């Protein structure tokens, strides 16, 4: 495939490595230094685009891909408040988008495990539940998209919780969740690719499930696999569709 990389930071460079190893060609690299090269003509040289940019630029990047009729894989998070609007645009313009809060195979298995555990724990109200996430200090959004996906998996299955609430640990604002609120604790620590923990606590014991990323390689490889999967498809997809 011919791939356009929208966002050429650390993740974009690792994606490039895996793409080349799998026989693909990078025909466009967009970073903060060459935004003017993100044109319809340049995008049309690609079979698919992969976006790991920033929450500030991702929506305009998606619009550019739709305008050029180029399928786009979106690994950037922090824009999910506009998800339905983007889906409507994708469907009405007969375009293709695949998004995911995390493209790691291990994390997507972890999502399934989280949903299964939540279904079991729904019957045991003595257990309080919360999500903790730790990421590197360069991560711009909080909580992480992965933590939100975990929280939604719990909310869908634990009836005593109706919404999630985020606390950025280390900030001055202390958060006090209500009984029906699910707390997400977000930590920002140097050189942590991503650690997510779901904790069920009672007076007598705790149950924890945890995923620890050792590097960003799993996310990058998953993004290339997603691009291979979506290239000839039409519609609006989630990374979970690949694992069904």
Provide DSSP, 12-44. Answer: HHHHHHHHHHTT-EEEEEE-TT-GGG--HHHHT
| pLDDT for 3 beyond 90 | yes
Of the candidates 10, 17, 119, 139, the residue annotated as catalytic is 139
pTM of this prediction? 0.77
Q: What mean pLDDT, rounded, does the chain reach?
A: 94
Of the candidates 135, 161, 196, 211, the residue annotated as catalytic is 135
| pLDDT for 244 beyond 80 | no
- Which helix (DSSP H) or strand (DSSP E) does residue 5 occupy? strand 2-6
156: left (phi over 0), alpha (psi -120 to 50) or beta: alpha
Angle between helices 10-21 and 217-230 (to 10 degrees): 60
| Digit-coded pLDDT (tens) for 139-176 | 877 898 899 999 999 999 999 999 999 999 988 788 89
To the query of whether residue 139 is one of the catalytic residues in this protein, the response is yes
To the query of whether residue 171 is one of the catalytic residues in this protein, the response is no
């Amino acid at each position: 495939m011919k791939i356009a990389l929208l966002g050429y930071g650390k993740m974009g460079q690792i994606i490039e490595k895996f793409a080349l190893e799998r026989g693909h060609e990078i025909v466009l690299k967009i970073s903060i230094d060459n935004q003017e090269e993100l044109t319809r003509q340049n995008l049309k040289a690609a079979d698919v685009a992969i976006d790991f940019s920033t929450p500030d630029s991702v929506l305009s990047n998606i619009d550019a891909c739709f305008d050029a009729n180029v399928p786009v894989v979106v690994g950037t998070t922090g824009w999910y408040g506009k998800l339905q609007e983007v889906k409507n645009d994708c469907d009405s313009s007969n375009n293709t988008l695949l998004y995911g809060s995390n493209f790691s195979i291990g994390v997507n298995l972890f999502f399934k495990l989280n949903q299964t555990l939540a279904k079991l724990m729904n019957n045991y109200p003595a257990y309080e539940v919360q999500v903790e996430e730790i990421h590197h200090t360069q991560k711009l959004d909080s909580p992480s998209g992965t933590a939100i996906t975990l929280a939604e998996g719990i909310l869908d299955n634990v009836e005593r919780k109706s919404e999630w609430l985020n606390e950025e640990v280390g900030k001055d604002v202390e958060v006090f969740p209500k009984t029906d609120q699910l707390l997400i604790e977000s930590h920002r620590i140097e050189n942590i690719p991503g650690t997510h923990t779901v904790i069920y606590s009672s007076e007598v014991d705790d149950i924890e499930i945890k995923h620890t990323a050792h590097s960003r390689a799993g996310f990058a490889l998953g993004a290339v696999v997603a691009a291979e999967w979506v290239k000839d498809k039409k519609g609006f997809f989630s990374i979970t569709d690949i694992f069904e």
